[in-house]
Structures are given as C-alpha cells and as structure tokens.
A and B are shown apart, each in its own frame.
Chain A
C-alpha cells in the first residue's frame, strides 16, 4: 500500500515539476534581427508624442495585426527610455477621417498637403504629435509537422506524439516627422523560431515566442531611434 502511495506521489510530483517547467522555463529558441536606417536626426522633447499605426490601406489584402501594433505601443510607452505614445484607436478617432484605410496617406510626401487642412493641423498640434510610425508586416506559420493523439479511459488519460511548427515574423516600421512631412528613418524587425510539443503521457509545449520577440526588438529600437540614441 505504501509502495503504491509512494509511486502515486512520485508521479504527481513529476507532473507538477513538468508543469512548472513548462510554465516558467520551457520556451523555444527564437532568432531575431533588428535593423535601422536613419535619414534624419530625431529628438523627443517634453510634451512630444508619437503614434504607432498598422498599415491597412487598400487595395492591399494584408493587415498588420492589431495586437502587434498594440504590443509595440505598450513596449514603447513602458520600460526604460519610454516615450509618450498615443494609442492607435484614439489617434484615428481624433483625426477622423484622415487616417482611415481609404484615406490615410501612403507616403510621407502626402503629409504636407494633408496638413493644409486647418482643423487637422490644429488637432495635430493639440495632441503634441511629433512622429508617426507606420508598421507593416505579419507573423506567418511557414511549416508544421508531426501528430499528437490523446486518449482518455477509465484507467487514465494521456497523450502521445510530437508536434512542431515554425513561425516567421517580419515587420518594418517607417517613421514620419509629423511637422516636416518627411520620412526620418526605417526600422525592421525579423524573428523566426520553431515550437515543439513532445508528448509522453503529458504534452510538454515548448513555444517559441516569435511575434513577441519581434515586437520587443522593434519597440526597443524605435525608442532609441526617436530619441536619437544612435
């Protein structure tokens, strides 16, 4: 009896240990690259703000993920060297209808003409907008393989098999000066990684956080870029 109890307790500890390891430690490897091209000097003064917008103009069939744009905004407004960030939705509402998918400027050269709209120029001045950051790109699953099957019987349950998939994130941010209407630089962030789920009774997910890695890399580089930190 005590032997069966010991075996049971041992198994419970093993499953708990695996679960904690999965929760806190088991992340897949991600390869990330960030590049920057600077065309003009930049700076942020007190009261200046930036906005991060996802590209969704027509007739493009792609659309930058909302949660990625939100991730970049949050990361830029937090941590060290944080900058003031206007949320995408607040910006689009405040400057409606000038930055909708059908009406948004496609190139920085279109900004000066847009700023001829008196009400628009006043609103941009009111909100303290210094730079617009246009983000385009997406995260795609480029391959996957393996299989996983799970069964449940009165005697117990378990999963067996092996799954893997590879995600690729590729994003580019164009930074426009809101006053001069010029592109001041570009920052690109690429990340790739493979996630695995081996299962021997208990599936153990080892997830490569590809999109999160692309987001943090892009946000950190943008922060240093707009504050002209090399």
Chain B
C-alpha cells in the first residue's frame, strides 16, 4: 500500500513538474519582447542651409511605441520615440546654420520667435518583419515619417512623407531583440540620410528658400 501510495504521489508530482516546465517554456516563447534602441546617430556632413530652424518634437513622437503581436512569438513593443530626440537634434545640427528645439503639443504651431521656420516630424506608421515571417535571413523595419514645415508665422510651407527602411542580417545578431533593434536604427539612419540630402529638393521648400534668397545647398 505504501509503495502504491508513494507511486501515486510520484506520478502526480511528475505530472506537475512536466506541466510547470512546459508552462515556463511556453512563457519564454510567447513573452513580451521590448525593443529599446540605443542610438548614436552621426551628424550629417552636408553644406548647411543658412537659416535658423525650429524643431518641434511633440510628445507623440518622443513617446512613440509600436506594439504588435507576432503569432506565437508574443507581443513586441518597439520603443522608437526616445531616439528621435537625438536623431533630430543631430540632423538639425548638421543641416542648418542654427537650430532650436520648439516646445509644445500637437496643436497648430502658431508663430514662433527667433526662427525662420519650424519643422515638425511625426511617425505615421511602423512595420517590422522577422526572418521566420519572410523566410529570409533578415530582420526588417519600415518607418513612414511625415514632415511639416511651417514659416515663422505658423503658415504651412510644405508637407511630405518620407519612407525609411532598415534591415539586419540575423547571422550578425545573437537574438531577435537585437536584430529588430539594429534594423530599427538602420531605418532611422536611412531617414536621416534621405532627409539630409533631399530637404531642399522639395518643390515648395525650394521655392520658399529661393524667395528668402537662400542658396540651395
């Protein structure tokens, strides 16, 4: 009897051990993944536009987090907002003779003193893909920025989208968090590069600069 009783206990304990282990494994597989890119963006090496630019970074941009549930991989949170501050500070430092960060919320800008124009970027959309989803070797991130340029009186000069793309080879990164992070930072650099080279090629921006007598860079 005692041996049967002992056997039943072992059997029950063994079942619990297996189920608990299985839960732990599943929790590890389907847990939340938080991607928190740490940036070190370079300053663009371009001829500076001789204007004083105000950079308006509203809370929606600075606190941007993209959340997606990826099948059995669980929930992914890509916190891209915090790196936008360094991104646009470095971008402005390289592109404009002078710049300043303009505080404020998402309401219309209004007139701003001490600047020639105000640039307001925003992230309209973000998508990412894992190698398992695309059957490739790459983590990929797509970001669609939207830019608005206002003159010092708050009048809209131009508005344009900027799609950016970044990818990272899975063989270069030890885990999926780091892979997505690398792809996200690559997409941010892509956006910076395209903006730095093409800012004054937007027709409305070019016309505004010409009216100011500002030479194209």
Contact = CB atoms under 8 A, between A and B. Distances in A.
A65 B172 contact: yes
A120 B45 contact: yes
Contacts of B210: none
A65 B171 contact: yes
Given A65-B169, A119-B45, A97 B197 contact: yes
A206 B25 CA distance: 32
A204 to B, nearest CB: 25
Interface of chain A, main secondary structure: loop
B60 interface: no
Contacts of A100: 189-190, 193
A100 B190 CA distance: 7
B79 interface: no
Contacts, number: 56
B193 A96 contact: yes
A103 B196 CA distance: 11
Contacts of B196: 97
A96 B45 contact: yes
B150 interface: no
Interface in A180-218: none
B62 to A, nearest CB: 23
B44 interface: yes
Interface string B181-211: 0000010011011101100000000000000
Range for the number of chain A residues in contact with chain B: 20 to 34
Contacts of B47: 117-119
Interface string A87-103: 00000111111101111
Nearest to B173: A66
Nearest to B136: A61
B9 interface: no
Contacts of A63: 138, 167, 169
Interface string B163-183: 001010101100000000000
A208 to B, nearest CB: 17
A179 interface: no
B193 A66 contact: no
Contacts of B42: 92-94, 96
B44 A66 contact: no
A11 interface: no
Contacts of A92: 42
Contacts of A58: 165
Interface of B: 42-47, 136, 138, 165, 167, 169, 171-172, 186, 189-190, 192-194, 196-197
Q: What 3 pairs between A and B have smallest CB-CB spacing?
A: A97-B193, A96-B42, A93-B42
Interface of A: 58, 61, 63, 65-67, 92-98, 100-103, 117-120, 123
